[in-house]
A and B are shown apart, each in its own frame.
Chain A
Amino acid sequence: MTRHYSAFSLLKEGLRGQKGWQPAWRSPEPKPRYDILVIGGGGHGLATAYYLAKVHDIRNIAVIEKGWLGGGNTGRNTTVVRSNYFFPESTALYDLALRLYETLGRDLNYNIMLSQRGIVTLAHSEAEMEMAARTVNAMQINGTDAELFGPEDVRRVLPLLNVSPEARYPVFGGVWQGRAGTARHDAVAWGYARAADRLGVDIIQSCEVEDFLIEGGRCRGVKTSRGEIRAERTGMVVAGHSSHLAAKAGFRLPITSYALQACVSEPIKPVLDTVVLSPGTGTYASQSDKGELVIGGALDRVPSYGQRGNLPVLEGVVAGLLEMFPSFRQLRLMRQWAGIVDVTPDSSPILGESPLPGLFLNCGWGTGGFKAIPAGGTLLAHLLATGKHHDISRPFDLDRFARGRLIDETAGSGIAH
């Protein structure tokens, strides 16, 4: 059976009629007991299991997923990876993710189609240019790449952008991060799943958590639709459904769940070879390898667990796109969808032990979880393996809310919610 992916194995299997490929992962029955259990088979959950096995050499692990792998926000995001945040704590976190993404294809032996095509965040006024300069300075001081773009630079990377002085949001320049870009979202989930499975991790799909097993004030595992599964430590990596499971575990979180929607156009020839975000229009876009324009914007302003977007926000996002790129107005939309995102008051994630001992959290990524998958996995794996924080995850503990040490990226990097 062929396991390793390479040009040679592709040729070999091509000659043999593609019949020798090993399935990418097994579908085992859940065992009654594991050392570590991860709830949630999205990118963060699968990455957690992979790093537990790879870095910490713990092999008796299961990932349980109520639906299918990567069927939540991992398969619903707009595939952008970047680390253009303001605070040092955030740069340490998101740049760790970006650095891991840079070698992930090789590490996993799976093509995640990383394309570091750069992102430009536009500035639409003199005042916004001042803030752009501040962001660039902060990013450089925090040790990641950033460049302040003037109008000429923007015109160079975005020839189709409406930069006329009469534009509703005239372009003064922007913040450029050249190492940012896109990666294939499904491939990230599948690559981690395949690599984790090969290290002995049990990946169990269609297995929904019904309740927690709490004994002596400690989480001892979960009761699922496929029976009880006990574990020494449990990680909860369920994004927009974190509050729902937390209620079963007996605590509340500083999280509100909203629908975040995105859409793609019909595929066209290459017209946009970078990622562009406009705070003025509230729209961002990139072009996929298939040629579709991938378009996103702000949250629906109605708390929701229904995985579909509302019309007012879709209308605003599309209007913003057409304001920026008038030449796109004849394009047809092909698909539109939404994922349920877990928004915290400071737009920063929560990593650490929950109020229920033995249960650890990786949540609160809000609108930007995909870009952080390798870091979220690394840091939760560290927490689950050692019971202690990694230096990078410490500031993101749940205790920051009672201590008043918020990492306010809502204000810092202007996340639009």
Chain B
Amino acid sequence: MQLFPCPFCGPRSESEFHFGGDAGNHRPEGFRDVTDGVWAAYLYERNNRRGAASEIWMHMACGEVFRMERDTVNHRVAQSVALGKGGGNDGMAH
């Protein structure tokens, strides 16, 4: 079992985490200006990188949402940063 680093709780079992998509996939702004293609790209297209990836994850036990830099081939985690602490935003328009 792999341990993922939650910025709030520290290392926890992978089964406690939920994958939230690509970091930096921001919701397009401007209701009328958003074309079908742009909206579909936001909703459906994924980076899905082989190797170094930057992703949004949630630790379901404590609710922390964070950005995790990890390698999708060997699963090594380079970094995890809480979104509120410089990790970026979760891509939603609030």
Contacts and interface: CB of A to CB of B under 8 A. Distances in A.
Across chains A and B, which 6 residue pairs bring their CB atoms closest together, nearest first? Answer: A243-B48, A254-B44, A402-B40, A252-B45, A312-B15, A244-B50
14 contacts: A247-B49, A252-B41, A253-B48, A257-B50, A303-B55, A304-B75, A305-B50, A306-B74, A306-B75, A310-B14, A312-B1, A401-B40, A402-B37, A402-B39
B94 interface: no
A404 B44 CA distance: 11
B9 interface: no
Given A243-B46, A254-B44, A401-B44, A306 B73 contact: yes
B79 interface: no
Contact of A254 (B46, B49, B75): B46
Contacts of A403: 36
A302 B37 CA distance: 27
Interface in A304-318: 304-306, 310-312
B83 interface: no
Contacts of B75: 302, 304, 306
For B43, B48, B74, the residue with the greatest tally of chain A CB atoms inside 10 Å of its CB is B48
A252 B47 contact: yes
B9 to A, nearest CB: 18
B81 interface: no
A301 interface: yes
Interface of B: 1-2, 13-15, 17-19, 36-37, 39-41, 43-51, 53, 55, 72-75
Nearest to A251: B45
A301 B15 CA distance: 8
Contacts of B55: 303
Contact of A241 (B14, B44, B50): B50
B81 to A, nearest CB: 18
A interface, over-half SS: mixed
A234 interface: no
A312 B46 contact: no
A306 to B, nearest CB: 5
Nearest to B40: A402
Contact of A256 (B2, B13, B17, B48): B48
B48 to A, nearest CB: 4
A261 B24 CA distance: 30
A403 B35 CA distance: 11
A378 to B, nearest CB: 26
Nearest to B4: A302
A402 B36 contact: yes
Contacts of A37: none
Contact of A253 (B17, B18, B46, B72): B46
Interface in A354-411: 401-404
A301 B13 CA distance: 12
Contacts of A301: 14-15, 18-19
A305 to B, nearest CB: 5
A301 B14 CA distance: 9
Contacts of A252: 41, 45-48
A255 interface: yes
Nearest to A254: B44
A243 B36 CA distance: 21
A334 to B, nearest CB: 22
A257 B2 CA distance: 18
A24 B41 CA distance: 44
Contacts of B51: 305
B36 A255 contact: no
A241 B51 CA distance: 12
A83 B53 CA distance: 35
A304 B36 CA distance: 29
A385 B26 CA distance: 39
A243 B72 contact: no
Contacts of A312: 1, 13-15
Contacts of B53: 303
